[in-house]
Structures are given as C-alpha cells and as structure tokens.
Structure 1
Amino acid sequence: MVFGSTMTIIGASLSDISESLGTTNATLSWAVSAPFLGLAAGTTVFGTLGDLWGHRRMLILGLTVFTAATGVCGLAWDALSFIGFRALVGLGGAMMIPNGMAILMAAFPVNQRARAMGWFQFAAVGGPAIGLVTGGALVDALGWRAIFAVYTPVAAIGLIAAAMVVRPSLPGEAKPVDIAGALSLVSAVVALMVALDRGANLGFGHPVALAFLALVPVTIWTFVAIERHTAHPMVPLEWFRRRNYAGPVVASATANAAYMGGFILAPQLLQERYGYTLTAATVFLVVRLISFSLSSPVGGRLTSTRGERWTSTLGSVLVVLAMVSFAAGALVHAVVLVVLGLALAGGGLGVAGPAYQVSVVGAVPMDRLGAATGMFQTLTSLGTAAGVQVLVLAVGENVTGAAFANAFWLGAGVAAIGVFGALAITSTNSASVK
C-alpha cells in the first residue's frame, strides 16, 4: 500500500516537488522512474538470494530498507538526493516482492493459493486508489514532505508486523551464487529501462538513448550465454520452455503493457478530447484502481474453480476490450466509453493476476519460488515500461482523436498477444478439473 500510494501522490505532485527542490519536472521524473528501475533490476536477484538464504530474512531486510528509504525521502535537500532515496525505495521493494510472494505461496496449499493471491492484490492495488483520492489534499494542506511523514509510520507497522508474525523460513540448499548471471541480467534491465526513459525524454535518435539501446541485445545475449553454461544458473532457461511459465510471463508482460499505456494516455485523452482539467481527468483514474482491487478476489475464486487457463484468458480478453473501448472513446464523443475502458482494464488485470501467479508458481520447484516470481516480476516490469513508451510515441505530438485511437488500437494488438500467452497455459488447479 505504501509503495503504490506514494508513487501515485508523487506522480501527481511532481511540479510542487520540483519547485521546492529547485529543479525541473523533466529532471525529477527520474524520481518516478528510479523505483521501477530498482524493482525491475533487483527482483530476480533478490528472489534468488531469498531461495538461498531464506525468504523471511530477505523480506525483513527489504522492509527495513524500504521503510528507512521512505522516511529519508522527506528529508531530501535537492533533486539528486530525492532521486537516490527513491531508488533505494525500489531496491527495498525488489527485496520484498519476490520473497513476500514466495512466503505467501508456500503458506497455502495449492487449491487455496489463488484466493490468497486475490486478496493480496485487493490490498496492494487499493493503496494507489487511496493515494489518488487523498494525496492532493494532503500535499495542498501540509506540503509534499508530509507524504513521507504520513506513510513512513505505516511502512514501519508493516515491518514490525512481518517480524512478529511471518514464520521463519529455512535457507535453501547451499549453492554458489550466480554472480555473473546476476550482473548480466541487471545490466540488461538497466540498459533497456534507461534507453526507454532517455528515448522518451530526449528522443530515440539521441546518442545517449542509442548507446543504451545498443547495449540491450549485447547484455541479453551475455545473460543467456551465462545461464546456458553455468552449473547453477540463477534462472534456468528451460523454465521458458514450460507452457505454465512462459505463458503467464507473455500474458502478464503484454497485458500490463497495454494496461499501463492506457492508464497514461487516458487522462491526456480526457483533457484533449473532452476538455477536462488535469485534476478532473485524474479523478476518473480511480475507476481503474477500484475495478482492479474489487475484481482481484473474484479472480482468485475463478482461478480456484475454473482454472488458470480459463481465468487468465478471460482477464487478458478484458484488457483487449478495454483498449477497444478507449479507441472508440477517442473517435466518438462519449466519455462513458473512456470510463468503461478504465473499468475493463482494471477488471481484466484484477481477474488475471492471481491466475498468472499461480501458474508461474506451479511450474517451478518450491525451492526456486523466489527466483521464479522475481523473473516474472522483472519481465512484467519491462513489458510495462516498454508499453508505456510505445503507446505514448504512437500518439506523438498530434493529439487528435484519430492519433489517440491509433495508439489504443496498437495497445489492443499488444494485449491480444497476451491472450495467446494465456491460452498456452494448462490448468493444474484441482478444482478446475473435476
């Protein structure tokens, strides 16, 4: 909740924070990108370390880093310090997420994991909704530093609760850490994330963006070569030959690409096409978050009763329909179509999320849950970042209804790839094969 809420409020308050720290919005946009960069680069590595050293230990460490970093964000004295502290928030999240997910999955028998995941999503996605509703008033009344004064104690409560109630987890089998694989994966992720960020801000023809784009295939090839030949790979490549691992990875990456791309473009569409103010357009986004949160327990129940394949396919199809609704709303002056798109997008990922996770977890050995969920999260984050940039570039400077519609049609095509990924999944839940 803290991660999602603070991200939402910071994004909405970027101008206020920039003015206070004496910098520009373009520079401070790194404060939004830095946590996601830390997440994308670190989840697989820290998930693997959790498999080796114990998931609870890494979870507590991550919560500690996360809480401390959230607190010091409110003490930042300039743009560089604020961006650095936000990057630490992302690293803390990278320690928490894969290890927390591994603990969650291991705590429940197979036929209850989907429902547990559904309720987890309900709480996690509810955070940004709270932040979107309350954040503006909080900043207006007390200033942007109040964000961290309010949410740091909440994070501390999470740390204390985890230390008290999470059961100790035994370390895994002693194996050498795949340092070369970790470094090559982090290099690939950082190269792609920085290339996308700099390309969006400077143009993809800029030398910095081109340099990092050139590094992407080199670092990916290096990672694959290392994992193929090392005796103890961080991420066994044969996982990607398993339908129940590769299927949800593809489905999640593409669905999130369309989902987040639509989320970024929707307020622009509401302003340019319908004449709403930024504040009013932002309020509409609550529909997506509420839909995501409320549909998550439904997705957990459907996964338990209908199976991973059926539920993930349904969710992926809903994301496609969301993009179609957005496209129609861009061409026809009917704001209800935009609202419907937001609801369908949130509902689609809310329904599909538990199915994706349960399928991934079921496809790998229990002692590799951290690495498996970490890699899943990394590839989902990369798909999300790429999707945002592709859809924003598709609109370009020509903010006409047709330009928005073309971008959303592209998003529908990306999301459709996710449908095929979902269809590749084989349902393993016992309830689904009665």
Structure 2
Amino acid sequence: MGESGDRGERMPIEAPGADEVVVVPWPLLFRERVVRRIRDGDNERWWVLWTTLAGLFSVGFTITILTVSLPRIAADLHSDTATLTWIITGPLLAFGVVGPALGKAGDIWGQKRVYLLGLTGAIVFAALTAVAWNAASLITFRVFGAAEGAATGSASMALIMRAFPEGDRVKAMGFWSLVGAGAPVLGVVAGGPIVEHVSWRVIFVAQVPLTLAALVLAAIVLPETGQGERQPLDLSGALALAAGVTSLLFGLNRGPVWGWDHPGVVAAFVLSPLAMTVFVAIERRAPFPLMPLAWFARRNFSVPMAVQFFLNFAYMGSFILTPLFLEEAFGYGETRIGLLTIARPLSFSLSAPAAGYLAVRLGERTAAVTGALCVCASAAAWQAVHPGSADVAVMVALALAGVGLGVALPSMAASVANAVEDDHLGIAGATQQLITQMGIVAGIQIAQTVQAAREREAGLVASYHEAYLLAGLVAALGLVAAVFVRRTPRGDGAPAPASDAVEAFATG
C-alpha cells in the first residue's frame, strides 16, 4: 500500500516528554481488509446481494407472527382483536404514505444511506414494540416501523439492481424473492412455539440483535452509491400520491368490515381518484417529478406492473381464504392448518431462485407466462377440493400458486428495473412494492367479500369455490398481460457463482 494507505494504517501520537506512540486502528484495518477481499474479482455483486438480503430478512420475519398471534397479543394488552387488526392494516397504509417518497429519497441522497437509515429505525421500533404497554403504543410503533421498513425494501432492491448487469438481475431477484417469502415462513415455524410457550415480545427482542448485525454488515460491505442529481424532493407529488393510494387501501380494508356503502368507505373511494388526478397534474408540470409518467408508456415497465398486481391479487386473495376454508368446511385445527398452508410460501421461496436462473435462458416472458399459468391452475385445483379430500390435494393447490408466483415475480421485478435508468431504481422499486401492496389488499378484501356474500345462497363449500374462481379469473388477466412482456437482451458476461463469494473471502 502506498503512502496514503500507510497513513490510514498507523496514527502517530506524540505527547510532551514522551516518545512517539504508534496506534493501529484495528477496526479500520479489519474493515479495509474485508472490503478489499470482497471487491477482488467478480464477487462483489454477490456480497451486496447477501448483505442486503440479511437486512431484508431481519426486518421481514416478524410479519406473520403478528398475524397469527392477534388473540394472544390482545389478551396480553387487555384489548381486542378488532382493534389490533390495525397492527396489520396500519403498516400497509404507512407504506402507501412514505414508500414512494423514500424510494425517490434514495435516488437523490444515496441508496446506502437510506438503507442504513431504514435498518436503524427498524432496530429502534423493534425495541419499542417489545415494551409496548397498550394497543395504541403497539400500533404506533408498528406503523413507524413499517415506514422504516419501506426505506429498507426499496433501497435493497435498488442496491441489488445496481450491482448486477441487466441480463443477470433476474437471478438476483430470485434470491430476493426467496428471502422476502421465506422470512415470514421461518418466522411462523420458529416463532410460533416461542409465542405460545414464552411471549410474543421475545420475537421483537430477538429482532434487535439480528437487525443490528445486518446494519453493521451493511455499513462495512455495501459500496457508497453516491448522491444523484441535485434536485428537490417532489413533496407535493408525494403527498398527492400518498392521499390517493392510502384512500384506496383504506377503503378496500374497511369495506368488508364497515360495509361497502358506509360513508367512510364511499368517501375513501371518491377521494382516491381525485387525489390521483391531482398527482398526475402535478407530475406533468414538475421539473423534477417524483415518478416520471413517461415510464408508463414503456412496455416493460407498465406490463410487468400489471402482471404483479393481478398475480398478487390472486395469490393473496386465495391464500387468505385457505385457513378459513379448512377450519369451517373441513374442521381442521390450527396446527394442521398451519402445517398445510406452509406449502404455499415454502414453494414460492424455493422456486424463486431456480426461476431466476431459468429466466436468463428462456426469457422473462416465458417465466411470467409459466408462473401465471401455475396460479390459474391453482385456482382450478381448488374447485376439486372438498371436505374429505386428502391433504395432498390441499397442498398441491397451495403449492401451484406458490410456484407460480415464485417463477413470475423475479422476472417481472428485473424487467421493471431494466426499463428505467439506474438513477431511478429507488423510485422504480418503491412503485413495484406499492403496486404489489395494492394487489394484495384488493385480493384479500374482495375475495373475502365474495365468499361471505355467496355463502347463504350457494352454501359454505360452493362460496369458497366461487371466491377461488374469482382469484383464477384475475390470474388469467395476469396471464394475458404476461404475453406482452419483452425479453431483456443478454450480454456475454456472467456473474461469478454465488458460492464463490464465500470462497473469495476465506482465501483472500
């Protein structure tokens, strides 16, 4: 190392009447050595991937724990499950408010900064959640924690996309999908017994050191992304978009609970298109728009967005019905239902990495069409599931949807990233997450509404079959959209195998 490097390794300190003392800053030397090993060869991109996925896992594994533990948490906080459903609804609304703005903030101020900020906030609010003293405090901490998680999600996707060339991004997104879907599954499997035998608070206590470790790793490994073009954040556009999306999500969420003709629900559905109209008007005039509207004229931006909306609608719409169907029509207990329903997210998380590599050879369109066909096949398989059907029939119907989404989504995420400039990967990723959230909420609420509305006339089993059929029809719309996805041109270069990253660090 040259002279400048020597200065970084040794710091001479002189005191009056004493000889010069050389102090070696070992933490800095360790960091420098780690970074040098990581950045030798073609392995840096894989280190960026694994590092960001560590943060994604630490933030995401608590999501399903809250969902399945609502009665226990309500009893502990002397509240009721109706009130505590806001720990699920609140984060969805929070993402609608801050997600796009944080994605754009990463493009302007640097994705690494926003990512580290998101992890730091997640640590703080995980600790606060663990000591929540009533329902209001728990809901508040979860909403603010979700806002920080929104920063982590969009920034992690942008960091990964920057690290990989266009032709290989779909591989990386396969692993991103693996962790995104696998973390909640592991949370249920490992956290369920802890919640049952110890306390739900232990989960959030454990989240603090996990996220802290991910934060330290990210600070060392992730490259500085630098700041984008100096420009103001489009706050007026962000507020208009937040108002439109939040109103829509609120109306969809409260519709089945309050009734679709409730004044609050009607007002939300009226406000949403008005706010979105204002958003479009602002973006057309803004010198630095939050979301360039010209993107929606690009086929590989708008079409993959549509595919993601339709498939997430079908996936989550049918998934939310399954535990209720198995409990009400089959008479299954919680343990048996939990073991069966794991088939869907597990198949998703296992198929996504393989699908990423397959899409490189066959193209994003083929992956999207195949995935949509699997989701449609899942809806068809549910039509043959009746009380008395073997457990394997239930698992096949669940797994088909999991494989379908796992095959399609990495390709669609990579297609969107390849359709925009690298300086806008943050807002592009946040937009994808926003569309996904909208599809999820719409699917959950509309599927439940259809099932409840048809139960008296059609009967219990038939009402569920009709709701699954609706999910299949929406998935068919995703299939039609997938046909119009264009394949990304591939370069000759290929990334180093993922396992080489570990070997590179070990051997130096």
Flag whether TM exceeds 0.5 (same fold).
yes
Is 1:254–1:418's contact at 8 Å kept on the other side of the alignment? yes
TM-score (norm 2): 0.82
Task: Give the AA of the match of 2:151.
Answer: M
Q: Does 1:307 align with 2:307?
A: no
- Measure the CA separation in 2 of the matches of 1:179 and 1:371: 14
Q: Does 1:184 align with 2:260?
A: no
TM-score (norm 1): 0.96
For residue 133 of structure 2, give the secondary structure of its aligned residue in structure 1.
Answer: coil
- Equivalence for 1:5: 61
Is 1:63–1:159's contact at 8 Å kept on the other side of the alignment? yes
For residue 328 of structure 1, give the secondary structure of its aligned residue in structure 2.
Answer: coil
2:436 pairs with one of 380, 383, 388? 380
For residue 396 of structure 1, give the secondary structure of its aligned residue in structure 2.
Answer: helix
- Measure the CA separation in 1 of the matches of 2:258 and 2:335: 27
Please list the CA deviations of residues 76-126 of structure 1 after superposition, one character each: whole Å capped at 9, or x if unmatched: 111111001110121011111111111101101222211111122222322
Please list the CA deviations of residues 315-344 of structure 1 after superposition, one character each: whole Å capped at 9, or x if unmatched: 111111111112321588444332112101
2:473 pairs with one of 406, 413, 432? 413
For residue 172 of structure 1, give the secondary structure of its aligned residue in structure 2.
Answer: coil
Q: How does 1:280-359 map to 2 (within 5 A)?
A: 280-330=336-386, 333-359=389-415
Is 1:308–1:355's contact at 8 Å kept on the other side of the alignment? yes
- Measure the CA separation in 1 of the matches of 2:110 and 2:445: 37
Percent of residue pairs bearing the same amino acid type = 37
Task: Give the AA of the match of 2:472.
Answer: A
Please list the CA deviations of residues 117-141 of structure 1 after superposition, one character each: whole Å capped at 9, or x if unmatched: 1122222322111112122210122
Is 1:307–1:431's contact at 8 Å kept on the other side of the alignment? no
Which runs of 5 or more structure 2 residues have no equivalent in the other structure?
A: 1-56, 493-508
For residue 62 of structure 1, give the secondary structure of its aligned residue in structure 2.
Answer: helix
Is 2:154–2:430's contact at 8 Å kept on the other side of the alignment? yes
1:236 pairs with one of 289, 292, 296? 292
- Measure the CA separation in 1 of the matches of 2:329 and 2:391: 9
Higher helix share: 1
Q: Does 1:263 align with 2:319?
A: yes
Q: Does 1:403 align with 2:463?
A: yes
Report the aligned-residue RMSD: 1.6
Please list the CA deviations of residues 3-48 of structure 1 after superposition, one character each: whole Å capped at 9, or x if unmatched: 4321111111100101111111011000012222222332211111
Task: Determine which structure has more spread, i.e. the larger CA radius of gyration.
Answer: 2
Please list the CA deviations of residues 333-391 of structure 1 after superposition, one character each: whole Å capped at 9, or x if unmatched: 44433211210111111111210111001111111111111111111111110111010
- Measure the CA separation in 2 of the matches of 1:362 and 1:168: 21
2:184 pairs with one of 119, 128, 133? 128
Following TM superposition, by how much is the alpha carbon of 1:420 offset from its aligned partner in structure 2, in angstroms?
A: 1.7
Is 1:312–1:422's contact at 8 Å kept on the other side of the alignment? yes
Is 1:330–1:405's contact at 8 Å kept on the other side of the alignment? no
Q: Does 1:23 align with 2:83?
A: no
- Measure the CA separation in 2 of the matches of 1:280 and 1:134: 16
- Measure the CA separation in 2 of the matches of 1:297 and 1:429: 20
- Equivalence for 2:161: 105
2:488 pairs with one of 414, 419, 428? 428
Task: Give the AA of the match of 1:165.
Answer: V
- Equivalence for 2:310: 254
Is 1:133–1:283's contact at 8 Å kept on the other side of the alignment? no
- Equivalence for 2:134: 78
Aligned residues: 432
Task: Give the AA of the match of 1:413.
Answer: L
Which runs of 5 or more structure 1 residues have no equivalent in the other structure?
A: none
Task: Give the AA of the match of 1:278.
Answer: E
